[in-house]
Amino acid sequence: MNLPLSRGLKLRGRITLSVAMLSALAILSVTGVGLSFTRRTLSKQIHATLRAEAEGLKDLVERILAEREANVRGWSEDAILRGALLFDTYDKSDAVLAGLVKHHPSLSGFVLFNEQGRAVSASSEALLKSFQGREREVRETAWYRAALEGRFTADALAREKDAAFGKRVLPLAAPVKSPASGARIGVLLAAYDWSQVRDVVKAAMQRARERAQDSFALEVRSEEGTVLFNSRPADAAPLVRPVSQEAINGTDVKDVGDGWHFVATLDAREAYAPLAQAATVALGMLGFFLVLAVAGSWWLARGIARPISALSEAVTHVLEEGDLSHRVEVNSGDEVGELAHAFSRMMEQLRQTTVGLQQGTRVLTGAVAELSQAAEHQERNLSRQAAAIQETQVTAQEIQQTSKMAEERSRAVLQVTERAEEVGRLGEQTLGASIAGLQELHEKVGRLASTILMLGNRTQQIGEIAQTVKDLADQSNMLALNAAIEAVRSGEHGKGFGVVAREIRALADQSIESTDRVRELLDDIGKSIQDTVSMTEKGQQQMQGGLAQIKASGESLRELTSIVKDNAGAARQIAVAVSQQNAGISQIFTAVSDLSSLMEETMQGVQATTRATSSLREAAERMESVARTYRA
Amino acid sequence: MWTLVSLLLLANVPPDGAAQMKKVDGLMPELRRMATDPSVVREVKKQNARRVSLESIRQWDEEWRATPALTPLKRQLLGNPCARTLGGYRERLGRVVAEAFVMDNQGALVGATRRTSDYWQGDEPKWRQSFNGGRGGELREKPFFDDSSQSYVVQVSLPVKDGARVIGALTVSLSLLEL
């Protein structure tokens, strides 16, 4: 409905208006169609009824007349009547005619006339007397003449009252013939009581009264239009709008009424009275149903619009106040009620979702805060660790340098030892060749003694270096231990570093063991040098005492030479150990460098984690602000 | 006289009726033979010889009319030789003869072909004129409708004679339309 009027209306008004208009339209059209159809049907029915009544009257009158005519013909052939006329004896015929009148109340009387028109026999003596002396008159009547011709006529019916019968009669006269020759010997007159027609139409009038058609009338008119019978009283007022149907008595059945018109008449106002009544009732019903439709549609519209308004209010409230705790109260169980319930369920779910979201956001925010704290802590730790590693790297570099120095020193020791060995050998050779050169030797031994002293000092220095190496190794060990712990704490990223740290530790342990052994050797060397020194001093002291002892000295010298040899071997071993240690320290340095670069990567990773955590925090904060928009 | 009566009777009668009544004339010789039949004469003489008082006759007549039942008297009158003779004639003449009965010199029945309405006919013209104190003649009455035979009849009465003396009367009902 897009009527301009309906645009300004709310749903309730529109539904009410639509239903009312539809109902009015439907009822009006149905009533209109029904009334017009009923009018047509009623008109048809009325005409059919009138025609049926007219036809019925026609058939009835025709039948009665035909029957009476047949009766009269039959009676005219009665042997008694014939015999009476033949033998001019009428006692029996009088009795017969009286009997006939008694048995046929519709006939007013019978009169038997002879050929001269004299009444010879009658159903009653009075009747016979009334025809006395009227032979000529009788012979001139229409019925008598018709009877002579062997037919019936209704001409005499026009007369209001028959003089002989004292009432309006239809004279039915038939010739009486001789049984012997067939010659006419008289005429039998039967007077049909015309007032009997009123009895004939009585049933039809009763039917009309039952149909509530009081204006219904039946008329019989002659071919010329003379009213022969009318059921309406002569003084009755004429009908205003007469509706009539007529039936004409045809000649298919020969009778006195051939050509008569049988007319059934009815007042149209009365005929269509049920229709007018129905229209009034329909109008009343239209009003009633219109009111009912308006009330029903208003109620329906109210039922539809009220929950929708409630829903609309609820949505507006949620939008404006962000309050999801608002409840929609709808008590109807129809589709709109289902919608409201679904909306309520949606609101409830939304509320629960919001509560979950808010709780989740809170938890998320907390977790993010903790995470960022942990990330910061980790970053700090890692920074410290990186610094430590850097220190370790520097220290390792120092150790490397020291280790190289130790190597150089040990090489120098070796050279010295080799030279000592050579010197020993030379001394031995010289001892064997020159005793003279004992002095020189003595000097030389003195130099040797001082050199050995120097060697002892150097050896002591080596021991100190070895101690330093051991300390470094101890420190490496400690660092590797720390690195391993940190690697474990770094998780997946620290695994490789852990392995390296373990290696470093193992190497440091080996370094410590080697340095221990170097110290032991150096201690031995120290002691030997001390002994040599003391022995050289003794030899120097004893050289003066005896040549004999030179041999012993030569022996001692040899012994010394072998010791020196041993010493040289030991120094060589030290050099090898130092060089091995150097390689190990280089490895430590490389490992620490790797560790440092690894730590840098870890740091980058941790920084990325921190960045991600901060953006996560921002997201969590945004979510929380969104979740806070709604009150659950 | 006979002709005069006939003319009077036929005055208002149509030709067909007159013709039928004329046919009675043709039957007259046979009826006269009936009236002179020796058995009829013998039976009349026999009854006359009994000289029953008129008083008794009137009493019997009353008894006769009191009941339509077949009393012994009725049975005797319908079954005696006279009645049988009449029946013989009736059979010979056919349905023309609706009825025939013979009366004695007092008008009482001697024999009949069927039950008559009265036993004593002494008060009726058919006996009075045809017997007429022993000088009676033939009589033809006005036709009438006979309920017993359900037909129009004309009653012809003839004197029953013993020699030249009239001793009784014979009445024959002739069905006019059977003639």
CB contact under 8 Å between B20 and A115, yes or no, is no
On the question of pLDDT at B3 being above 70, the answer is no
Distance CA A50, CA A229 (A): 17
Model confidence over A536-582: pLDDT tens digits?
A: 777 777 777 766 666 676 777 778 778 878 877 887 888 888 888 88
pLDDT at A185: 92
Please tell me whether residue B64 adopts helix, strand or coil conformation.
helix
| Least Cα separation, residue B67 to chain A (angstroms) | 24
Please tell me whether residue B148 adopts helix, strand or coil conformation.
coil
Phi, psi of A345 (to 5 degrees): -65, -40
- Whether the model clears a pTM of 0.80, i.e. scores above it, the answer is no
For the residues A271-283, what does the mean pLDDT come to? 85
CB contact under 8 Å between A87 and B143, yes or no, is yes
CB contact under 8 Å between A180 and B20, yes or no, is yes
Q: What confidence category does residue B1 fall into, taking pLDDT thresholds of 50, 70 and 90?
A: very low
Q: Which residues of B touch A87 (CB under 8 A)?
A: 13, 17, 20-21, 143, 152, 154, 176
Percent of chain A beyond pLDDT 70? 95
pLDDT at A314: 81
On the question of pLDDT at A112 being above 90, the answer is yes
Name the amino acid, one letter, at A259. G
pLDDT at B100: 94
Nearest to B13 among A80, A88, A181 (CB): A88
Model confidence over B120-142: pLDDT tens digits?
A: 999 999 899 999 888 888 999 99
Q: Using the 8-state DSSP alphabet, how is residue A624 labeled?
A: H
Model confidence over B83-127: pLDDT tens digits?
A: 999 999 999 998 899 999 999 999 999 999 999 889 999 999 989
C-beta separation of A619 from A345 below 8 A: no
Distance CA A195, CA A204 (A): 15
| Least Cα separation, residue B7 to chain A (angstroms) | 13
What is the average pLDDT score of chain A?
A: 84
B151 touches chain A (CB under 8 A): yes
Distance CA A128, CA A164 (A): 9
Q: Using the 8-state DSSP alphabet, how is residue B177 labeled?
A: G
- Nearest residue in chain A measured CA to CA from B178: A180
Please tell me whether residue B121 adopts helix, strand or coil conformation.
coil
> Which residue in the block uniquely carries the two structure tokens 């190990």?
A584
Distance CA A109, CA A123 (A): 6
On the question of pLDDT at A439 being above 80, the answer is no
> Which residue in the block uniquely carries the two structure tokens 């010789």?
B29
A339 touches chain B (CB under 8 A): no
- Helix H, strand E, coil C: the string for A70-132 is HHHHHHHCCHHHHHHHHHCCCHHHHHHHHHHHHHCCCEEEEEEEECCCCEEEECCHHHHHHCC
pLDDT at A529: 78
How distant, in Å, are the alpha carbons of A359, A613, A630 from that of A627?
9, 20, 6
pLDDT at B158: 93
CB contact under 8 Å between B17 and A87, yes or no, is yes
Contacts of A628 (CB under 8 A, 6+ apart): A358
Name the amino acid, one letter, at B79. G
| Least Cα separation, residue B145 to chain A (angstroms) | 6
Provide the terminal-to-terminal Cα distance of chain A, rounded to the nearest Å. Answer: 42
Distance CA A473, CA A484 (A): 16
Q: Which residues of A touch B142 (CB under 8 A)?
A: 89
| Least Cα separation, residue A191 to chain B (angstroms) | 25
Q: What confidence category does residue A4 fall into, taking pLDDT thresholds of 50, 70 and 90?
A: low
For the residues A238-265, what does the mean pLDDT come to? 86
pLDDT at B10: 61
Nearest to B16 among A79, A86, A91 (CB): A86
Nearest to A185 among B14, B145, B177 (CB): B14
Q: For residue A555, how far is the Cα from the chain centroid?
A: 120
ipTM over 0.85: yes
Model confidence over A14-66: pLDDT tens digits?
A: 888 888 888 888 888 888 898 888 889 888 988 998 999 999 988 888 888 88
Q: Which residues of A touch B147 (CB under 8 A)?
A: 92
| Least Cα separation, residue B27 to chain A (angstroms) | 18
Contacts made by residues B122-129, CB under 8 angstroms, sequence distance 24+: B122/B54, B122/B57, B125/B157, B126/B155, B126/B157, B126/B169, B126/B171, B127/B103, B127/B157, B127/B169, B127/B171, B129/B157
Query: Residues 4 to 23 of B: which have CB under 8 A from any A CB?
Result: 9, 12-17, 19-21
Query: Residues 164 to 183 of A: which have CB under 8 A from any B CB?
Result: 178-181, 183
pLDDT at A80: 92
Query: Residues 68 to 107 of A: which have CB under 8 A from any B CB?
Result: 79-80, 83-89, 91-92
